[in-house]
Amino acid sequence: MNNIWAPWRMKYIARPKDSGCFFCEAPINEDPLVLIKLEHCFAIMNRFPYTSGHCMVAPYDHVGDLAGVGDAQFTEIMSLVKRITASIRSSMKPDGFNVGCNIGSVAGAGFADHIHIHIVPRWNGDTNFMPVLGDVHLISEHIEETRDKIMRTLS
């Protein structure tokens, strides 16, 4: 049996399952992981990331599909995805990115009722035996340090 120390996960595991929509609540509740708030959307660090620097961009409107996002919102969302990607590239020097959204729970959406776009920085060699054989992901930096790096280069 593998033991991984990840105390931040207990908050996720123990939270009430009917606690509402995270993406609706985060910008209102001044979540410290919110990076930037614009007119139609905001960017936030993923509290339970796949890799260091994993961010998400979401509209304020509670919509579960891209078809429900207006043109002005969509333009602002994609512009913010571009800005966050540039900031991560500048501050963390990844070798590439995975950028996309999971629409619907069968597609892997953890919050299927609120569309959001994932921005996941990737480095050469970041997939090794740990995730492949042990289903273990290593996060090498505290999320608050990563947030501060990204914030310093966010323009």
> Would you please indicate which residues are annotated as catalytic (active-site) residues?
116
DSSP state of 28: T
Alpha carbon distances (Å) from 92 to 77, 123, 126: 22, 10, 14
H helices present in the chain, as ranges? 9-14, 22-25, 71-92, 129-134, 143-153
Annotate 74-106 with DSSP letters as a single string.
HHHHHHHHHHHHHHHHHHH--SEEEEE---SGG
Please give the Cα distance from 62 to 25 (Å, whole number). 10
**If residue 43 lies in a helix (H) or strand (E), which one and from where to where?**
strand 41-45
**Can you tell me whether residue 63 is helix, strand or coil?**
coil
